[in-house]
Structure 1
Amino acid sequence: MLKESIPKGALRWTPPGRRKPGRPKTTWRKTVMAELQDKGLSWGEAQATAKDRTLWRNAAVALCPTGDEEDN
C-alpha cells in the first residue's frame, strides 16, 4: 500500500486535542490493540500478516466472534 493512501493514514491517525469530559477513554485503535494482544500479535506483526490475504483472513476470523459464540 502506498505511504500516502487513505486507509494507511486512517490506521495511523491520532485525533488532536482532548476529549470532552465524560467521554470514554477507549478508542478503536486501543480496542484493536487489546484484541491483538489477546491473540499474541503486535501491531507490527498484524501489519505484516495483512500483506498475506490468506493469513490475514485467518487472523481476522480468529479475532471476530461468530454469532454462535456471542449467543452463549
Structure 2
Amino acid sequence: MDTKNLFSLVGKKGFITGGAQGIGKTIATAYADLGADLAIVDMNGEKAKATAEEIAKKTGRKI
C-alpha cells in the first residue's frame, strides 16, 4: 500500500504553531513530505526561519 497517496496533502494548507523544534518541527516536516503548503510560526522567529529553510531544502517545497 502506498501511504503517500493514502495520506496525500497536495493542495492543502497547513499552519504549524511551535514548528521550530520538537513535535511541531516533526509535524511540519511530515506535512511538507506529504505535499502540503505550510506556514511555520514559533516564539523563536529565527529558529522558525531556519526550520522552514531546512524543510524547503529537504522537500523542495517553499515554506
Structure 2 length-normalised TM: 0.30
More helix by share: 1
Greater gyration radius: 1
Structure with greater contact order relative to length (CA < 8 Å, sep ≥ 6): 2
